[in-house]
């Protein structure tokens, strides 16, 4: 096997991910870890703050904090403030530039948003999903279109200058016109950031079960691909610049600094049940169990945490898969330096094949997918990672976001 050179430098800023594992109701498409028993919230918060206080990475400068879930907007501003205060006490946050919280429009009032702003949150991500009631019903969301519109307005009134909206496309019955209505409505608010996710039928979710039982007719791959290209075209025409397969920003400054760490192998620490951490070359994660998490802290112990040292094969897979998600693509210089290989040489056949089809492009330093190439992201990435030199196909990196 090849040699691997360490490439994670202590000087690279790190991110803190805080997982709040509570939701009022589970959305049928969601496979992220959360529970609906809110009676554990108080004890959970105490345990979470204890875990934050145990973080020991004095060598890292943290420039982002991301509070996700679950539904973090179930927590009041005082609790969010306590979480941020604890983080700032133990971490080196002298250059903290981005503090994000995910908002579910069904859980927010203007006072809470003002409180979040005062607590130090400077970026919010609102789970809109759709501006059509029928779609919200299909997705099992707890909020109405009116709740969403009100939340966005309240967020602006509270002084948030960096707002992201999440939209889902590929919903059964969705036509080009219906998706365009959603996108037009979204950009009316001029959000600084937009995430447009394709609806997926994750294994073991109620939505996947309904699909298998024929409860609805999903869109065809061709229809979903068409909606994806429509999204790219519409957002690009309206000033939103795509920087990752699902993510669009009004300016470079409004790209998600935190999420870019996931796609670029940046260091991050995750706290809370099911949260993942990555500090080269180790990946670790907490058990997805709120009660067990609380019990451990109550008995003075650390939560159950699994660890693995990433193998060279796993790192190559992550670098290819995550690199292809980015519009900029895989940094082939970094790849060559890290694995002591020649990217263009080892993937010569694949590159020739996909370049001819107009799905992949290469420059001196990067290998990226074209717009049409994004339609085949999974199969192209699979073709690269199924080479003999990359045998282990496991991809467990925390690269997805909950579509909340
Ligand atoms: S999509 Fe968000 S709100 Fe819905 S169950 Fe998942 S984490 Fe909770």
Spatial separation of the C-alpha atoms in residues 123 and 163, rounded to whole Å: 6
What domains can you pick out in the chain, each with its CATH number? 14-263 (3.20.20.70), 312-385 (1.10.10.920)
Helix locations, 3-76, DSSP H = 41-54
Query: Over 60: is that where the pLDDT of 398 sits?
Result: no
Strand, helix or coil for residue 102: strand
Spatial separation of the C-alpha atoms in residues 255 and 244, rounded to whole Å: 10
- What is the pTM assigned to this prediction? 0.93
The torsion of the CA quartet 266, 272, 276, 277, rounded to 10 degrees, works out to: 40
Spatial separation of the C-alpha atoms in residues 5 and 9, rounded to whole Å: 11
Q: Residue 32 burial (CB < 10 Å; 0-12/13-18/19+)?
A: buried
Number of Cβ within a 10 Å radius of residue 259: 28
Cα(143) to ligand 1 centroid in Å equals 12
The residue whose CA is least distant from atom 6 of ligand 1 is 30
State the average pLDDT over residues 55-73.
95
Q: What is the DSSP letter of 376?
A: T
Tokens 């991809």 label which residue?
395
State the average pLDDT over residues 281-300.
95
pLDDT tens digit string along 171-218? Answer: 999 999 999 999 999 999 999 999 999 999 999 999 999 999 999 999
State the average pLDDT over residues 319-331.
96
Residues with CB under 6 A from ligand 1: 23, 26-27, 30, 32, 34, 69-71, 104, 402-404
State the average pLDDT over residues 338-344.
92
Confidence band (pLDDT; 50, 70, 90) for 393? very low
Spatial separation of the C-alpha atoms in residues 342 and 304, rounded to whole Å: 40
State the average pLDDT over residues 27-46.
96
Tokens 């005062």 label which residue?
118
Q: What is the DSSP letter of 226?
A: H
The confidence score (pLDDT) of residue 397 equals: 39
State the average pLDDT over residues 154-161.
97
Strand, helix or coil for residue 385: helix
Query: Over 50: is that where the pLDDT of 131 sits?
Result: yes
The residue whose CA is least distant from atom 3 of ligand 1 is 404
């Amino acid at each position: 096997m090849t040699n691997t050179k360490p490439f994670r430098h202590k000087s690279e800023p790190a991110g803190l991910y805080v997982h709040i594992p509570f939701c009022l109701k589970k959305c049928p498409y969601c496979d992220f870890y959360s529970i609906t028993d809110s009676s554990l919230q108080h004890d959970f918060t105490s345990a979470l703050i204890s875990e934050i206080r145990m973080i020991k990475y004095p060598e890292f400068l943290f420039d982002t904090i991301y509070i996700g879930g679950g539904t973090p907007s179930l927590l009041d501003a005082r609790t969010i403030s306590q979480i941020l205060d604890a983080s700032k006490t133990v971490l080196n946050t002298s250059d903290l530039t981005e503090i994000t919280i995910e908002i579910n429009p069904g859980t927010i009032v203007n006072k809470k948003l003002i409180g979040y702003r005062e607590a130090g949150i400077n970026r919010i991500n609102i789970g809109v999903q759709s501006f059509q009631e029928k779609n919200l019903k299909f997705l099992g969301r707890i909020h109405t279109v009116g709740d969403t519109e009100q939340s966005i307005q309240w967020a602006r009134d509270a002084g948030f200058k960096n707002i992201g909206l999440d939209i889902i496309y590929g919903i059964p019955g969705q036509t080009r016109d219906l998706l365009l209505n959603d996108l037009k409505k979204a950009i009316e608010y001029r959000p600084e950031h937009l995430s447009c996710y394709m609806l997926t039928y994750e294994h073991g979710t109620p939505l996947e079960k309904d699909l298998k039982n024929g409860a609805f007719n999903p869109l065809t791959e061709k229809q979903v691909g068409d909606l994806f290209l429509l999204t790219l075209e519409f957002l690009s025409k309206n000033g939103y610049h795509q920087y990752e397969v699902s993510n669009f920003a009004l300016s470079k400054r409004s790209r998600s600094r935190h999420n870019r760490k996931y796609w670029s192998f940046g260091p991050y620490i995750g706290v809370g049940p099911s949260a993942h951490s990555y500090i080269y070359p180790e990946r670790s994660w907490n058990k997805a169990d709120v009660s067990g998490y609380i019990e451990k802290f109550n008995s003075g112990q650390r939560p159950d945490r699994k660890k693995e040292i990433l193998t060279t094969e796993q790192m190559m897979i992550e670098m290819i898969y995550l690199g292809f998600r980015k519009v900029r693509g895989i940094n082939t210089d970094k790849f060559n330096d890290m694995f002591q290989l020649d990217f263009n040489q080892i993937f010569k056949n694949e590159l020739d094949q996909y370049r001819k089809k107009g799905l992949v492009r290469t420059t001196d330093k990067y290998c990226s997918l074209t717009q049409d190439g994004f339609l085949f992201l999974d199969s192209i990435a699979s073709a690269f990672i199924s080479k003999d030199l990359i045998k282990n196909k496991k991809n467990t990196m925390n690269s997805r976001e909950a579509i909340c």
